[in-house]
Amino acid sequence: MNETQNSLGAYLKLHWKTAVFLVVLLIGIGLADIFVDSYMRRLLNLCAIYVIVSLAMNLVNGFTGQFSLGQAGFMAIGAYTVAIFTVPVESRTAIFYLEPMAPFLANIQLPFVVALILGGLASVVVAFFIGSPCLRLRGDYLAIATLGFSEIIRIVFTNTQSITNGALGIKSIPTISSLWWTYGTALLIIIATILLVYSSYGRAFKSIREDEIAAEAMGVGLFKTKMTSFLIGAFFTGIGGGLFAALLGTVDPKQFYFTLTYNFLLIIVLGGMGSISGTIIASFLVTLGQEALRFLDEPMAFGLDLPIFRPGLRMVVFSFLLMIIVLFYRKGLMGTNELTWDFMAQKFQSIKKKLSRKKTSTEGGGK
Amino acid sequence: MSLLRTENVIMQFGGVVAVNDLNINIKKGELAALIGPNGAGKTTAFNVITGVYTPTSGKVLFTPTDKSGTATEIDITGKKPDKITALGVARTFQNIRLFKELSVLENVQVATHLNTDYSFLSAILRTPKARKGEAQAKADCEFLLERLGLIDLRNEKASSLPYGQQRHLEIARALATKPQLLLLDEPAAGMNPQETDELTDLIFKLKTDFDLTIFMIEHHMDLVMEISDHIYVLDFGCTIAKGTPDEVQNNPKVIEAYLGVDADVED
Domain boundaries, chain A: 15-258
> Measured between CA atoms, how close is A275 to chain B, in angstroms?
12
Q: Residues of chain B with pLDDT > 90: what percent?
A: 72
Give B175 to chain A, closest Cα distance, Å.
Answer: 10
How many A×B Cβ pairs under 8 Å? 105
The shortest CB-CB distance from B120 to any of A201, A216, A220 is to: A201
pLDDT in tens, A195-204: 999 999 999 9
Q: Which residues of B touch A201 (CB under 8 A)?
A: 113, 116, 120, 123
B133 and A CB contact within 8 Å: yes
Q: What is the pTM (predicted TM-score) of this model?
A: 0.90
Angle made by CA atoms B67, B71, B76, in degrees to the nearest 5: 105
What pLDDT does B261 receive?
Answer: 64
**Residue B263 confidence (pLDDT) above 70:** no
DSSP class of A139: S
Residue B170 burial by Cβ neighbours in a 10 Å radius (0-12, 13-18, 19+) = buried
φ, ψ dihedrals at B35, nearest 5°: -125, 170
For position A137, what pLDDT does the model report?
80
Q: Is A217 on the interface with B (CB under 8 A)?
A: yes
* Contact yes or no for B80 and A207 at CB 8 A: no
Within an 8 Å CB–CB cutoff, is residue B146 touching chain A? no
DSSP string, B1-61: -EEEEEEEEEEEETTEEEEEEE--EEETT-EEEEE-STTSSHHHHHHHHTTSS--SEEEEE
H-only helix segments in B88-162: 104-110, 120-125, 128-147
CA distance B168 to A130: 40
Any chain A CB within 8 A of the CB of B91?
A: yes
Q: What are the pLDDT digits (tens) for B37-75?
A: 888 899 999 999 999 999 999 999 999 998 888 889 999
Asked if B194 is an interface residue toward chain A (Cβ–Cβ < 8 A), one would say no
Question: Which option is the CATH number for A15-258: 1.10.10, 1.10.3470, 3.10.20, 3.40.50?
Answer: 1.10.3470
pLDDT of residue A364: 43
Query: Does the beta-carbon distance from A200 to B123 stay under 8 Å?
Result: yes
Partners of A251 in the β-ladder: A170
Confidence at residue B267, expressed as pLDDT on a 0 to 100 scale: 43
Mark the ranges of chain A whose per-residue pLDDT is less than 50: 1-4, 364-367
pLDDT score for A356? 83
- CA A362 – CA A96 distance, rounded (Å): 74
- Which of A13, A63, A47, A5 has its CA nearest to residue A228? A63
Coil, helix or strand at residue A215:
helix
Burial track A221-233 (b if 16+ CB lie within 10 A, e otherwise): bbeebbbbbbbbb
Q: In whole angstroms, give the CA distance from residue B198 to residue B216.
A: 16
pLDDT value, residue B91: 95
pLDDT in tens, A289-307: 888 888 887 777 667 777 7
CB nearest to A200's CB, from B93, B97, B116? B116
Nearest by CB to residue B82, choosing from A202, A219, A228, is A219
Which pLDDT band, with edges at 50, 70 and 90, does B222 fall under? Answer: confident
Could you say which of B97, B114, B116 has the minimum Cβ distance to residue A211?
B97
Residues of chain B with Cβ-Cβ distance to A231 below 8 Å are: none
Task: Please enumerate in sequence order all residues whose Cβ is within 8 A of that of A345, keeping only pairs 6 or more positions apart, or say none.
Answer: none
Q: Which residue has the higher pLDDT, B91 or A360?
A: B91
Are A205 and A63 within 8 A, CB to CB? yes
Q: Which of B90, B123, B174 sits opposite A199 (nearest CB)?
A: B123
Q: Exposed, middle or buried, A268 (CB in 10 Å: 0-12/13-18/19+)?
A: buried
Domains and CATH numbers, chain B: 1-87+178-261 (3.40.50.300), 103-177 (no CATH)
- pLDDT, residue B262, reads 59
Chain A residues with beta carbon closer than 8 angstroms to that of B130:
199
Return the pLDDT at A301.
Answer: 63
The answer to whether the CB atoms of B130 and A206 lie below 8 A apart is: no
Closest Cβ opposite residue B137 in set A200, A201, A219: A200
Instruction: Please state the rounded mean pLDDT for residues B121-142.
Output: 93
Give the confidence band of B32 by pLDDT, cuts at 50, 70, 90: very high
B39: left (phi over 0), alpha (psi -120 to 50) or beta: left
CA A73 to CA A75: how far, in whole Å?
A: 5
The helix (run of H) or strand (run of E) holding residue A146 is helix A141-159
Q: Note whether A207 contacts B82, CB cutoff 8 Å.
A: no
- What DSSP element (H or E) covers B91? strand B89-91
DSSP SS3 for B244 = coil
DSSP of A257-323: SHHHHHHHHHHHHHH-TT-HHHHHHHHHHHHHHHHHGGGGG-TTTTSS--TT-STTHHHHHHHHHHH
Residue B213 parent element (H or E): strand B213-217
Is the CB of residue B20 less than 8 Å from the CB of residue B13? no
| CB-nearest partner of A217 from B50, B102, B124 | B50
Q: Is A162 on the interface with B (CB under 8 A)?
A: no
Q: Cβ of A3 under 8 Å from any chain B Cβ?
A: no
User: CB contact, 8 Å: B85 with chain A?
Assistant: yes
Contact assignment for B81 to A216 by CB distance below 8 Å: yes
Average pLDDT over residues B116-131: 92
